[in-house]
A = this chain, B = another copy of it.
Amino acid sequence: MNLRDLALELGLSQTTVSRALNGYPEVAEATRQRVSDAARRHNYKPNTRAKALATGRAMAIGHVIPLAAQTEMVNPVFADFIAGASETYMSNGYDIVLSVTKNEDEARVYLDMAAKRMVDGVIVQSPTADDPRIALLKKVGLPFVVHGRAADLPDDYSYIDVNNKRAFQRGTEFLVDLGHARIALINGRESLGFANRRKAGFIAGLKARGLTPDPALMLSDEMTEGYGYSAMRTLLSLAHPPTAFICSSAIIAFGMRRAADEAGLRLGQDISLITYDDDLSYFKNGDDEMIFTALRSSVRTAGRCAAEMLIDLINEPDIPRQRMMEAELIVGRSTGPARPNGTIYR
């Protein structure tokens, strides 16, 4: 069933039917009623492609999910982000066009999406410090919102980000204030903006409390459970192991906890751990009582906001939209005061 058929059946012109369905004022109320009844009866929905072609709006947003370098893993964070964004799109009539690509192909994907006019805007994930995609998208004039920020670029594009630096500074200071003097950072890949800022916050936190960062206590890699486990083992095997840890994802934290358990160390008593927590649905950090003391900011909420900002931007370009979220520091059972002698064993 297409518009022509519907118009024919109703004995009306396509113009009138189209207008009736799209809520234009110049249609008699009785006619509109008749039309929308018929449309519902036949489950008529305008052909997206034709509509997009005629209006020049695709009513679709492009999301590009990056595969981790080499390993080609896909971070579960993106699933929750998209779920959040989707709520916004749904109520605004937008669809999601998804592309999963290796980092080196991303620029081409955006270029293609722009040239093929298949989306009205895109979300850029995981920007690097000097991300080339930003200049590229500006050049081709495709509206975009960055999830995160590019460190070294002028601040004139739209983004939504968490204040990662402040969060990690706060977390670090919290640990120092508990008496911990040797604190380790188990970070994501530091080529990415968020990890870079977390490291900066970590260092700032130590310095603010008069401590000197120790490079041996700052690790960085893809944020898997296995990495958390092996990082923790490595750190615990040091001659003078840290007594507190701050890590970049709940998934890492679970791996770290596994290593700690194996070593017979109790979180919150023998050692302390703070994790960044994206509030992923399948990794809830405790429903009632928090397992981990955490710096929490929901990535799902971020997705919802990013989508809102992008739709705004599409309707009224030129003014960049920017939004900064603060992570909450929620105290859970994984942190406690340091032992007076600075060791980890009871």
Q: A97-B98, A99-B96, A287-B226 are in contact. Are A116 and B47 (CB under 8 A)?
A: yes
A286 is contacted by which of B67, B101, B226 (Cβ under 8 Å)? Answer: B226
Q: Return chain B residues, CB-CB under 8 Å to A72.
A: 83, 281
User: Could you tell me if B99 and A86 are in contact, using CB atoms closer than 8 angstroms?
Assistant: yes
Instruction: Decide yes or no whether A237 CB sits under 8 A from chain B.
Output: no
Cβ-defined partner of A43 (8 Å) among B50, B68, B96, B115: B115
Report Cα–Cα, A86/B97, bound state, in Å.
Answer: 12
Contacts A48-B118, A58-B49, A79-B79: A283 and B98 contacting too (C-beta < 8 A)?
no
Interface residues of A (CB under 8 A from B): 1, 43-50, 52-53, 58, 60, 63, 65, 67-68, 71-76, 78-80, 82-83, 86-87, 90, 95-101, 111-112, 115-118, 223-226, 251, 254, 257-258, 261-262, 280-284, 286-287
Q: Which residues of B contact A48 (CB under 8 A)?
A: 116-118
Residues of B within 8 A of A112 (CB): 45
Question: Is the pair A95, B96 in contact by a Cβ cutoff of 8 Å?
Answer: no
Evaluate contact between A284 and B53: CB separation under 8 angstroms.
Answer: no
Q: A43-B111, A79-B79, A225-B254 are in contact. List 16 more A-B contacts (CB 8 A).
A: A49-B58, A49-B117, A50-B53, A68-B281, A73-B282, A74-B282, A75-B79, A76-B280, A83-B100, A86-B98, A90-B101, A95-B97, A95-B98, A225-B282, A225-B284, A257-B258
Nearest CB on B from A254, distance (A): 6
Known: A44-B115, A226-B286. A74 touches B67 (CB 8 A): no
Main secondary structure of the interface of A (DSSP, over half): mixed
Q: Are A53 and B43 in contact (CB under 8 A)?
A: no
Given A49-B49, A63-B98, A224 contacting B117 (CB threshold 8 A):
no
Q: How far is the CA of A343 from the CA of B41 in the complex (A)?
A: 65
A50 to B286, CA, bound (A): 50
Cα A73 to Cα B261 in complex, Å, equals 28
Q: Can you spell out 28 A-B residue pairs with CB atoms less than 8 angstroms apart?
A: A46-B116, A48-B116, A48-B117, A48-B118, A49-B49, A49-B52, A49-B118, A50-B53, A63-B98, A65-B82, A65-B83, A67-B83, A72-B83, A74-B79, A74-B282, A86-B98, A86-B99, A86-B101, A95-B97, A95-B118, A96-B97, A96-B99, A98-B98, A224-B282, A224-B284, A225-B282, A254-B254, A261-B261
